[in-house]
Homo-oligomer: A and B are copies of this chain.
Amino acid sequence: MIISVIGSSNPATTEHVKLAEAVGRELARRGVMVVCGGLSGVMEAACRGAKSAGGTTIAILPGRSPADANRYVDIPIVTGMGYSRNVIVVHTGRAVIAIGGAFGTLSEIGHALGDGIPVVGLKTWPLSRNGDGVAIDGAIIQASDPVDAVEKALAAAAARDKAEQAKRST
């Protein structure tokens, strides 16, 4: 199982960095791999947390060198595609945990929700109504702390797996 963790590169807030590190650690404790954009800030913190618990970390890098990855990355995927790599970050996880975040994170939330990929939010973008005027309060699954975020992401990923398996066997 792979879960995506998204959020700001530096400067990320101290609070978000702590949350991301705890999320990475909790994922690794449950044997779940972390995929992220591979750079600094929240991405680095999630990788550091995962490694502290013996986990595996995957980076989807925008540039052309694995040397761009933070030091806690095990598997650097080198896209050379710039920020279009954001789509791959969210597609590679079975669910997404969004922690804080600026505009890059917003693009990832948009791609994920547009493609039916569950997003769990930990103090992330507040989105209550879309541009078409539709209420979307429940679109991001709200979590209260890192353990809650991980548990909700795993539950959503399991439900997604089940739905997709049912579809394939039809």
Where the two chains meet, the residues of A that have a C-beta atom closer than 8 Å to any C-beta of B are: 2, 7-8, 12-13, 16, 33, 56, 58, 60, 64-67, 75-84, 86-88, 91-92, 94, 98-111, 113-115, 121, 123-127, 129-134, 139, 164, 168
Contact = CB atoms under 8 A, between A and B. Distances in A.
Contacts of A109: 103, 106-107, 110
26 contacts: A2-B66, A13-B133, A33-B75, A64-B115, A66-B94, A67-B164, A75-B75, A76-B92, A77-B77, A77-B88, A77-B92, A79-B88, A80-B82, A80-B88, A81-B87, A83-B114, A86-B111, A101-B131, A102-B114, A104-B110, A106-B106, A106-B110, A107-B107, A107-B109, A108-B110, A121-B131
A78 B82 contact: no
Secondary structure type dominating chain A contacts = mixed
Nearest to A99: B131
B80 A134 contact: no
| Number of chain copies forming the complex | 4
Contacts of A131: 7-8, 98-102, 105-106, 121, 123-126
Contacts of A65: 164
Most chain B C-beta atoms within 10 Å of own C-beta, residue among A58, A104, A110: A110
A115 to B, nearest CB: 7
B130 A129 contact: no
A56 B77 CA distance: 14
B111 A107 contact: yes
A103 B115 CA distance: 9
